[in-house]
Amino acid sequence: MDKQENQVSPAIVAYKSERRQAWVDIVPQISSNRHKLEMEALTTNLPTVPTAMTSGSPAPTIVEKPEVDDSKTIAPEPSSFAQLGSLQKNILLAIFCLGQFMDIMNTSAMLPALPATSQTVGLTESDSVWLFAAYQATFASFLLISGRISDIYGPKPAFILGSLFFGGTSLGAGFLNNRIALLVLRALQGIGAAHTIPSALSMIVQMMPEPKEQQRAIGLFGASGAVANGTIIGAILVEYASWRWIFWIIAIISIPAAAACVFLIPSSPRNNKAKASQLDALGVFILIAAIVLFVYALTTGSVSGWRSGGVLAPFFVSIALFLAFFFWEARVDEANAALPPKLWFYPNFAVLFGTALMPFFWYMQMYLTFSPYWQDYLNWSTIITGVKFLPLGVVAGPIMVNGGRIAAIGRPKLLIMGGLILAFIATIMLPFSSQLNDRYWPLVFPAFIIGSAGTAVVFVLANISIFQTTPPAYAGTVGAVFNAALQLGGAIGSSATTSIQTSIDEKVIEDGSFDGTHFQGRSASLWFLLAWVGLVAIGVAVFYKQGRRPDDVEGKPEDDRPIAIH
């Protein structure tokens, strides 16, 4: 036996030596290819920062586990961005953060300006929701391909042209007195804004590849979305100048900043492998048409009657277009699809997508319900109205900025359920807020505190969980889809509640049950919001399943996988 072992051992040794050499040769290749896949997933279509109705909205960050090796971090290949000097990097970071603030202020500053703007251009209360829905519809839809555009043409032209387009449409909007023209420019603003956020994030990641520096920069980018400040800015401008200055200030800042970026941002080579034909433009336009027609049917139904042809026709056409969108996405090449069908088959993706429809809906409803009511019926000044909304941002801001720490407290499902329960409790309080002499401090203030905290937790945990349930290679697409869901929830949800409010207000006047508070329709819309929060909570409780994160690269331990968190 010993002799036989001695005879075969040289062959075994030679075999092992060859195998070892083969692994030495192939492992660097595998590592390099995988690194490229991870970077393509991040920089092709980075998760975007939503226009949340809070004092600070977190940007996608790379959460590093303790003592993670740099080679396991999502960081780009060395580029001209990384070679920039410290001063130039900080100037560009400040410009990107300012652009993020402008994108968010475009929504938040308009909230206290809603009554004055609607009166000037001739929008009814039911139609005024279009000032937000038009912007959110195009913003959400173009987010699905804006990262791809940045990949094809480079982040520099995408950011500069997006900022110029955003600033130019804002400048024009400030001069308009026609409601249709204003709404068209609001929609065009959304297209420009959608191209600035992914490209800015892409350049931030490339400028600062070192993990801690990168996380700090992206954190600052997210924190720059100070919606509460935008609300105060809008209130001050309306009180002492005009609502038009909201648009003009955006233009005054955006256009010069874009011009400066022509010289400050280094050029990056165009991706010759990517082609413009790979953009799913048809899918995006189908989605925009579906959203616009659906919102139109909702807002018109309360005025023209739900059985009129002018309501039923766009409603059913919008449903057909939504179905056509998903049918088209199933047929188009998955690598180019705006919403790859494969995503729906990952565990919890569908329920988290549905959960993402809730946060912006809740925040938008607070503003659309109380801002016109306080100004028009309680005769509060625009500034006082803006100040009364501060608790929403003051509470939600720290929660969103510290989302990673909150996620480490417990299981995602329990934390999301806890947030939904808080939002549910707060929403129950709000329909009764007109029945007290002091309508703010007894019910509205505590409801804002509790509800904003709960909704912020839902946003943070849903955001983190949807990245953890999908492979890293889809990080960019998942970020775009999640943010599109946030915007769609705000646009469609607020349109539905506005329609309910208008219908009830007209009904109580016709049947003589008007109680003099002008709050009956608003109360009904808040009950609808409560039902929506409850439905989301049931969906999470029943369909959310705890499980491990899938990965498209096998053989890597779970603890070593990079986690992209928005």
Helix (H) or strand (E) segment spanning residue 63: strand 61-63
Tell me if 179 sits within 8 A of 126, measured CB to CB. Answer: no
φ, ψ of residue 62 in degrees (nearest 5):
-100, 110
Instruction: For helices 227-240 and 244-264, give the axis angle rounded to 10 degrees.
Output: 130
**Distance between CA atoms of 465 and 211, rounded to whole angstroms?**
21
**Distance between CA atoms of 287 and 292, rounded to whole angstroms?**
9
What letter represents residue 5's amino acid? E
Residues 6+ apart with CB under 8 A from 213: none
Which residue pairs, CB below 8 angstroms and at least 24 apart, start in 66-72?
68/211, 70/210, 70/211, 71/31, 71/35, 72/560, 72/562
**Distance between CA atoms of 127 and 518, rounded to whole angstroms?**
18
What letter represents residue 496's amino acid? A
**Distance between CA atoms of 476 and 205, rounded to whole angstroms?**
13
Q: What is the pLDDT of residue 156?
A: 93
Token pair for residue 356? 């993402």
Where residue 247 falls (left for φ over 0; alpha for ψ -120 to 50; beta otherwise) is: alpha
pTM recorded for the entire structure? 0.78
pLDDT tens per residue, the chain (566 residues)? Answer: 444 444 444 444 444 454 444 444 444 443 444 444 333 433 333 333 333 343 333 334 334 343 434 433 333 444 678 788 999 999 999 999 999 889 888 988 998 999 999 999 999 877 888 999 999 889 988 988 887 788 778 889 999 999 999 999 999 999 999 999 999 999 999 999 999 988 888 898 888 888 778 767 876 776 676 555 688 899 999 999 999 999 999 999 999 999 999 999 998 766 656 565 577 889 999 998 999 899 888 878 877 778 888 889 999 999 999 999 999 999 988 878 888 888 999 999 999 999 999 999 999 999 999 998 999 888 899 999 999 999 998 898 888 778 778 888 889 999 999 999 999 999 999 998 876 666 799 999 999 999 999 999 999 899 889 988 888 777 767 878 888 898 889 888 888 888 899 889 888 888 888 877 889 999 999 999 999 999 999 999 999 997 655 544 444 433 333 333 33
Tell me if 118 sits within 8 A of 124, measured CB to CB. Answer: yes
Instruction: For helices 155-173 and 244-264, give the axis angle rounded to 10 degrees.
Output: 160
Q: What is the pLDDT of residue 565?
A: 36
Neighbours of 342 (CB within 10 A): 15
Q: What is the pLDDT of residue 55?
A: 36
Token pair for residue 519? 């709050």
Tell me if 474 sits within 8 A of 41, measured CB to CB. Answer: yes
Q: What is the pLDDT of residue 260?
A: 96
Token pair for residue 381? 């000044």
Q: What is the pLDDT of residue 82?
A: 77
**Distance between CA atoms of 141 and 121, rounded to whole angstroms?**
26
Q: What is the pLDDT of residue 100?
A: 86
Tell me if 373 sits within 8 A of 518, measured CB to CB. Answer: yes
Coil/strand/helix, residue 183: helix
Q: What is the pLDDT of residue 306?
A: 80
